[in-house]
Amino acid sequence: MDCLNLLKFYINGAWVEPLGKARMGVENPATEEIVAELALGNEADADLAVAAARAAFDSFSVWPVAERIALVQRILDEYNARYEEFAQAISLEMGAPLEFARSAQAWAGQVHIESTIAAAKTMQWEYSRGNSRIVHEGIGVCALITPWNWPMNQIACKVAPALIAGCTVVLKPSEIAPISGVLFAEVCHAAGVPAGVFNLVNGTGPVVGARLASHPQVDMVSFTGSTRAGTAVAAAAAPTVKRVAQELGGKSANILLPGADIAAAVAAGVEGCFGNTGQSCDAPTRMLVPRDRHAEALQVAKATAEAMVPGDPREAATTQGPVISKAQFDKIQGLIQKGIDEGATLVTGGTGRPAGLNRGYFVKPTVFGDVTNQMTIAREEIFGPVLSILPYDTVDEAVAMANDTVYGLAAYVQGPLPEARAVARRLRAGQVSLNYPDWDTFAPFGGYKQSGNGREYADWGIHDFCEVKAIVGYGEA
């Protein structure tokens, strides 16, 4: 893809040359070919972006809410005008099947901006309580560090609420899948975002990410990524006592209750796990089924997995693309082998590429049965198309197994609604989905335990970018 701005950064309203000379290739994971070159920033580049954001904050933060909403609406309009470019870029940089890139990946950016705008219009930004006035106002300069697996989902979930709250931002997209982030910066420029309000610096986490997290002029870091990287961000941010919002890893349980339609629930659960090639932090990767239905569940899961079509993301028949990189491919291969070595039943899939694919980081859609919660594949986040099916004897046991994890991002329950509701209340997860509902972009999204802190989506995201001020003795409004 011809995107010359990959060799520049967007700082203070202009595309500028990097201060250093470091570059890296952007790889198409479906072909292993380098498709673009990316400039990598250093600490000085990050400092320039933060300085621009700091200089712009005082004036932008006092814009009326209606004007900030109108600005984000213009960003949405520009985004929609380039929607197909976003889908093409995401498919190229991370290997998402093109139709999925259109209907889910690019759509996620669109719908989150829409939801944030709608929520901002009804949000109570200030109100009186007794003799005090309670005011929500932007926290300040925000560093936004986003991942490669849902690039526009996470950029939109951070940039839109931050700007509507009155914050100024520095965005560092993933250097592995940076093209869509650069396109988003072009959209912000075309929408007329004032100089310094939105800035973008590409680079690695240990260099640019670490500098942004530790920078004394950054008031908040919003980070999405692995729990390992999240702990590093939190440690870097701690000396300056800045706010840190994190959406981290997951190992989400999917409990199929005894009253569930096992055939339908298993099929939908496999598809949910394998969506986005299993590269979603909230993927339902641990399927818990009644022991007396375990054999039936394995049969359904096998048939569903084997109906997946891994292949060229540009082909209409393809339902599963590659994983993001060789490092990720190798990690997944090792974990699949670990499952075999630890005694889980390999129902389908396994190590190696799918038949007929001799290049690209394609992983066989893999299902394990007879998994126990102590096995590595039930405890570690695999981040690939690998499903573990665990049998249980009682619902109480299933709940205990579901909660027996360091993670707590999401959970899923299938079965009669009254029982599913009761089980949902017992699960230690930030979002629990009952009977595969549609994606609700107005529901809060975030994790318990080592899956992070803070919440994203709509007004929940706006609140995370706000400080709360009490003006005592304000009097009647």
Whether the CB-CB separation of 88 and 98 falls below 8 Å is answered with yes
Give the CA count within 13 Å in the CB-facing half-sphere of 414: 22
User: Which of 98, 114, 128, 158 shows the shortest CA–CA distance to 442?
Assistant: 114
Give me the catalytic one of 273, 281, 381, 456.
281
Q: If DSSP codes are grouped into helix, strand and coil, which group holds residue 68?
A: helix
> Could you count the other beta carbons within 10 Å of the beta carbon of residue 346?
15
Task: Decide: residue 190, CB within 10 A, 0-12 exposed, 13-18 middle, 19+ buried.
Answer: middle
Q: Is 247 annotated as catalytic?
A: yes
Alpha carbon 28 to chain centroid, angstroms: 20
Task: Write the DSSP assignment of 182-225 as a string of letters.
Answer: HHHHHHHHHTTPPTTTEEE----IIIIIHHHHH-TT--EEEEES
Residue type, 33: E
Q: Is 188 annotated as catalytic?
A: no
Alpha-carbon distance 271 to 425, whole Å?
25
Backbone angles phi, psi at 227, to 5 degrees: -65, -35
DSSP character at residue 450: G
Give me the catalytic one of 114, 247, 381, 456.
247
Task: Write the DSSP assignment of 141-192 as a string of letters.
Answer: EEEEE--SSSHHHHHHHHHHHHHHHT-EEEEE--SSS-HHHHHHHHHHHHTT
Q: Locate the DSSP E strands across 315-362.
A: 345-348
Whether the CB-CB separation of 385 and 274 falls below 8 Å is answered with yes
What are the catalytic residues? 247, 281
